[in-house]
């Protein structure tokens, strides 16, 4: 058997293995909350709310962010434990990654704060 033929046979044998590796690559390790960037949210969504309403909204968003962030950080810690701290493409394929939710909440928090600044909500509301 020629060398070229042997290489072709090996490449065909590796194709399924590469497909499986690529599928696992889709399950990346979860990011810690501090590494998740806020999603863009328009502060105009909060126009019409007065300062006390904005403060209440900010408190609800902050509380949701704390709970989601705690779950995300636990997921990230579990991923690090599973991989012994070495970044690998195989992370947490079956656990719910909360990255989109955290990005949205961070964006909403920035937007509420921007609207509070625009409405000149004073230090009594900070």
pLDDT tens, the chain, 126 aa long: 665 555 455 555 545 544 444 444 444 588 999 999 999 999 999 999 999 999 999 999 999 999 999 999 999 888 878 766 555 555 545 557 899 999 999 999 999 999 999 999 977 766
Backbone angles phi, psi at 26, to 5 degrees: -70, -20
- What is the per-residue pLDDT for 124? 73
- What is the per-residue pLDDT for 78? 85
* 22 Cβ neighbours under 8 A, 6+ residues apart: none
Residue 80 within any structural domain of the chain:
yes
Residue 118 within any structural domain of the chain:
yes
Residue 41 within any structural domain of the chain:
yes
Residue 68 within any structural domain of the chain:
yes
- What is the per-residue pLDDT for 81? 80
Angle value at C-alpha 100, between 115 and 102, nearest 5 degrees? 55
- What is the per-residue pLDDT for 84? 63
Please tell me the total count of domains within the chain: 1
- What is the per-residue pLDDT for 3? 54
- What is the per-residue pLDDT for 59? 96
Domain that holds residue 104: 29-125
By residue count, the chain amounts to 126
């Amino acid at each position: 058997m020629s060398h070229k033929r042997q290489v072709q046979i090996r490449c065909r044998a590796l194709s399924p293995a590469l497909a499986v590796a690529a599928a696992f690559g889709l399950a990346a390790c979860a990011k810690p909350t501090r590494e998740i960037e806020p999603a863009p949210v328009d502060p105009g969504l909060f126009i019409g709310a007065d300062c006390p309403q904005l403060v209440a909204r900010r408190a609800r968003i902050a509380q949701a962010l704390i709970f989601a962030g705690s779950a995300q950080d636990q997921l990230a810690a579990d991923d690090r434990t599973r991989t012994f701290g070495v970044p690998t493409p195989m992370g947490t394929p079956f656990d719910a990654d909360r990255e989109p939710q955290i990005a949205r909440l961070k964006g909403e928090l920035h937007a509420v704060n921007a609207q509070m600044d625009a409405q000149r909500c004073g230090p009594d509301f900070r």
